[in-house]
Amino acid sequence: MSGWSEVHGLSVAEKVVLSAGAYGSPAILQRSGIGDPADLRAAGIAPLVDLPGVGRNLHDHPIVELEFAGSERLRQLLVESASARFTPEEQTLGKLRSSRATGPYDLHLFPVAAHPLSLLAGRVLLVVAAMEPRSRGWLRVAGADPEAEPVIEHGYLSDPEGSDRAVLAEGIERARELAATEPLRALIGDEIPPSLDHAIEQIHAHYYHPVGTCAMGAEADPLAVCDGAGRVRGIEGVVVADCSLMPVVPRANTNLPAVIVGERIADALLAGERGE
């Protein structure tokens, strides 16, 4: 918050920056009366600003984890590595194109094997992630209570064409090809269980990359919540600076893109303060 002023004897911020993430920022806006009027009324909140895109367009990279038995040799290698240096569970990332890719790649494949002191100790995984998800979900608050959890529907694998499911299936096939190739085969052992092909909908999970619930976009876009500088449409002095701004998730982890978003919004705010 910045630029304080006095209203009825109270200090009021002239500028508010929301950076509560893809779940927190839309929830704060909705509880403040900013969002789809029908959803707000259903939650017992009086609508103040009609912005139907708040809480919509929620998406993340869906993943499937293939688990393997591991081996004594792998355990020994992890122990030796952890005793000599920092040894993260994830050390390698493969980027692949499925038959449905629209860019350089649309799949991440990465192994997870943990040393004995890790919370994941004993698990050996090959993880498949779909990096161009077409499915979309939503978030809505259940009421004005800031302590109440919002209702979240990620909508994983819900795209009508079944593209996300098909991309994951191709990724699983490629992961199994790698798992059957030496020297990886001897290190990670057999898959447990070996038949996940027909269970993608039951075993999929998230990649910790939710975005899109306060998406920026052109003024003509009815679901655009913010402009390119993160300013919330229809209300003065409210800016969003987190991954909820991203209309489409990048084909990557969102940690570094989140830093860039914060830096760009900060630059825009400072430029405004200087009158540029």
Active site residue ranges: 209
* Interstrand relation of 124-130 and 63-68 (parallel, antiparallel or unpaired): antiparallel
Q: Is the dihedral of CA 128, 132, 136, 141 positive or negative?
A: positive
Task: Find the length of the chain.
Answer: 276
User: Residue 18 in 3-state DSSP?
Assistant: strand
d(C-alpha 108, C-alpha 221), whole Å: 31
Sequence-ordered list of residues with C-beta below 8 angstroms from that of 190, at least 6 positions apart, any chain? 68, 69
Query: Which amino acid type is present at position 53?
Result: G
If we measure between CA atoms, which residue out of 191, 230, 238 comes closest to residue 214? 230
